[in-house]
Structures are given as C-alpha cells and as structure tokens.
C-alpha cells in the first residue's frame, strides 16, 4: 500500500468520525439549552414544576395532548413574565458568542470580544444618548440604530489605533480597546450626570450593568432578527473566516480581499452587538469565553464553531440569569456582574496561556 493510499484511507475514516462527533456535540448542546430554558421558566420566587412548564408552553402553542392542571397565575408567570426574559437571554447569549467568535478570527486575536474591544461601550453610549436626549427619528428602532452606530464607530477606532505598520499585536489591541472603552464610559457618565431626570439616570445606570428584566414579547423581534441575520451571514462566510486563521497574506493568496471582507464583517458584528446591547445592556465576556470552550469540543473550523458557540452562549446566559435572580433573592443581581465575575478570571488565564506560548516559541 502506498503512502498516498494510506493517507486517503485515513482521511476517509477520520472525516466521518469528526462529523459524527460534531453531530453528537450539537445534540448534547441542544439538549443542554432545552434544559436551561426549562429551568429558566421554572425557577423563581414561585416555583413551577418542569412538567407544568412544558404543559403550559405546549398548550400555548396549540397542543391538546394534556389537560390544563395549573392555575392562571402560573401560566401568566411562565408565559408573560419569565418567557420573554428567558428567550432574550438565549438570543443575547447566542449573539454575543457568535460575534466574539467572528471578532477573534477577524483580528486574529484570542482575547477579542465586544466588551473588551470597546464595542459594547460604543453601543451603550449611542443608546444612552438616544434615551437622554429623547431622540426618536427612527421610531421604535432608534435605540438599536444609535447603538449600532456607536458600536461600529468604537470598533473602527480601536482597530485603527491598534494597527501600526500594517500589523496588530494582542497587547496593542487590548490596550486600544481599554482606552477607547474608558473614554466612551466617561462620556456616558457625563451624560448621566448632566441629565435633569434623576429617575431616568438611575434606570439607565442599572441598564449599563446588563440585565434581562422588563422585556416584553413585542420587543423580542429585533434581537431575534439580528441573531438570525448574524448567524446566517457568518455561516456563509465561515470559509473566509477559516482563511484568516492562516494569516492575511495567506488569505490574500487564496483570493480573499481581506480589507473589504473585514470591513463588511465589522459592520455586521457592530449591527448585531448594537441591537443586543440596546435590548439587554452591555453584558461582557460571553463572547470571550464561549468560543474558546466550544473550540475544545469541535475544533477550529468556523462551520462547526459558530453553531456550537450559539448554543453554548444561549445556555450560559440563561443559566447566569437564573443565578442573578436567585442567588441574592429577593434582590436581583445584574447579570452583567455575574458574567464579569466568570469572565475576569478566564481572561487572566488566557493571557497567561498566551504568554507561555510565546515564551515557549521564543525558546
């Protein structure tokens, strides 16, 4: 048997195994998300048994396989109080995870994510400016439009500041993100301090910590649409994201117009981030942690990483929101605080790992 024939046989065996392993991982992540959604609807000040949760949901969808044995109050809690909140958590977590995955490929930096690069701060500033000044030029989507504009401006500014001599280092990118986020946060605080409406300022300040409360079914369509658009476009562009992993020169050699592709993707990730921040506030570190975690499960191919990250991010943020509602009950902790408590140590671990890799390469 020649070496060529042996390699072909190995490839023929390995690829089906990888596809099977990926399918199993997706099924496991889907089951995990279903369990998290059920827990999100069941857990709270009024506990609703999981069987009743499924009964209420399926009955609301028109299924007649079970007779209603629950009270009207429990149905209201599940469908109208917890339902929109849990769904927004899943949509936001999935969106932030796929955006973080895309950013890490676009700037070729494992530490990249919307919160650390100042994208969330730009979106927050745009959204708060609309709230404080009462701008309603685009009607109900004014908040999301302003958040998108702020997110895109912040991302372009960070990228321009970090790029020197045609190259971007991890340290320069993170420092530029921290600097831009600090300036934007200062401007946001200035807006809050100078507003005449104290109640409005307190509401906005609570929103800047990230939270999923106060959402209704009518406000979920825009985040859901942004998530579907983001995932669809990124899945189509996943081969190009894979090319960027080999470097800009290699991607250009393969026929990719790197500058144009990166500009289009920046607009897309800014749009998704802006809409999600407008709906849930700036929630950090989801886009940092989940891409790295799912790469350990499915490898580095973005055709596998993106759907796995979406499912994992949705589950993670739903679980974080459950903890936010129950850890200090009846007091509610902003979910952004809990994600930061998880993400901060993870970020430090990534930095130490990156430093060890560079030291090992230099040796």
SS (H, E, C) 87-125: HHHHHHHHHHHHHHHHHHHHCCCCCCCCCCCCHHHHHHH
Per-residue pLDDT at 4: 38
The pLDDT, as a whole number, for residue 360 is 67
What's the maximum distance between 2 C-alpha atoms anywhere in the chain? 82
For the chain, helix (H) and strand (E) counts, in that order, are 15, 0
Per-residue model confidence (pLDDT) at position 3: 44
In this predicted structure, what is the pLDDT of residue 269?
Answer: 93
pLDDT at 357: 75
246 backbone dihedrals φ, ψ, rounded to 5°? -85, -5
Dist. CA 201–CA 193, nearest whole Å: 8
* Residue-wise burial string across 74-106, b where 16 or more C-beta atoms lie within 10 A, e elsewhere: bbebbbeebbbbbbbbbbbbbbbbbbbbbbbbb
**Phi and psi dihedrals of 102, rounded to 5?**
-65, -45
Question: By the 8 A CB rule, do 317 and 88 touch?
Answer: no
List helix spans (H) across 136-212. 142-162, 170-194, 198-207
How many CB atoms are located within 10 Å of the residue 63 CB? 11
Q: Is the peptide bond before 330 cis (omega within 30 degrees of 0)?
A: yes
CA 138 to chain centre: 25
Instruction: Name the token pair of 50.
Output: 């999981």
Close Cβ partners of 145 (under 8 Å, ≥ 6 residues apart): 138, 274
In a 3-state reduction of DSSP, which class is residue 283? coil
Closest among 265, 220, 210 to 86, alpha carbons compared = 220
Query: Helix H segments across 237-301?
Result: 238-245, 248-253, 258-280, 286-298
CA distances to 9, 11, 18, 22 from 15, rounded to whole Å, are 10, 6, 5, 10
Question: End-to-end CA distance of the chain, in Å?
Answer: 40
Residues 269, 100: Cα–Cα separation, whole Å: 9
CA distance 268 to 69: 46
Write out the chain's pLDDT in tens, 363 residues. Answer: 444 343 444 445 557 788 888 999 999 999 999 999 999 999 988 999 999 999 999 988 887 776 788 889 999 999 999 999 999 999 999 999 999 999 999 988 888 888 888 899 999 999 888 888 877 777 668 888 999 999 999 999 998 888 777 677 667 888 888 899 999 989 988 888 887 766 667 777 777 878 888 788 988 999 999 999 999 999 999 999 999 988 888 888 988 998 899 889 999 999 999 999 989 989 999 999 999 999 999 999 999 999 999 999 999 999 999 999 999 888 888 899 999 999 989 988 888 887 777 666 655
Query: Phi and psi dihedrals of 165, rounded to 5?
Result: 65, 30
pLDDT score recorded for residue 319 = 96
pTM of the model: 0.89
Cβ partners under 8 Å of residue 239, min gap 6: 302, 303
Q: How many CB atoms lie within 10 A of CB 16?
A: 10
| Total residues found in the chain within this entry | 363
């Amino acid at each position: 048997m020649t070496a060529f024939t042996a390699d072909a046989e190995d490839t023929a065996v390995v690829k089906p195994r990888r596809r099977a392993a990926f399918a199993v991982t997706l099924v496991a992540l889907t089951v995990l998300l279903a369990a998290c959604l059920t827990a999100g609807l069941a857990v709270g000040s009024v506990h609703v048994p999981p069987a009743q949760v499924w009964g209420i949901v399926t009955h609301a969808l028109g299924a007649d396989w079970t007779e209603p044995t629950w009270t009207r109050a429990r149905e209201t809690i599940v469908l109208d109080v917890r339902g929109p909140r849990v769904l927004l958590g899943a949509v936001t977590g999935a969106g932030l995870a796929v955006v973080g995955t895309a950013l890490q490929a676009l700037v070729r930096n494992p530490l990249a994510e919307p919160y650390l690069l100042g994208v969330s701060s730009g979106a927050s500033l745009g959204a708060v400016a609309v709230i404080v000044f009462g701008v309603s030029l685009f009607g109900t989507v004014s908040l999301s439009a302003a958040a998108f504009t702020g997110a895109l401006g912040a991302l372009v500014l960070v990228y321009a500041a970090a790029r020197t001599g045609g190259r971007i280092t991890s340290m320069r990118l993170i420092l530029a993100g921290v600097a831009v986020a600090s300036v934007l946060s200062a401007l946001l605080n200035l807006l809050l301090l100078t507003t005449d409406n104290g109640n409005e300022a307190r509401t906005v300040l609570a929103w800047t910590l990230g939270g999923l409360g106060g959402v209704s079914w009518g406000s979920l369509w825009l985040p859901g649409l942004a998530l579907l658009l983001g995932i669809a476009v990124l899945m189509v562009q996943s081969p190009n994201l894979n090319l960027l992993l080999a470097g800009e020169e290699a991607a250009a050699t393969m026929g990719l117009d790197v500058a144009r592709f990166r500009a289009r993707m920046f607009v897309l990730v800014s749009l998704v981030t802006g809409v999600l921040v407008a709906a849930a506030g700036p929630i950090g570190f989801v886009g940092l942690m989940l891409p790295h975690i799912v790469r350990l499960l499915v490898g580095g191919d973005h055709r596998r990483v993106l759907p796995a990250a979406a499912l994992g991010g949705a589950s993670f943020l739903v679980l974080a929101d459950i903890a936010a509602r129950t850890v200090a009950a009846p007091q509610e902790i902003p979910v952004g605080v809990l994600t930061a408590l998880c993400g901060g140590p993870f970020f430090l671990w990534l930095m130490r790992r990156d430093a060890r890799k560079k030291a090992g390469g230099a040796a």
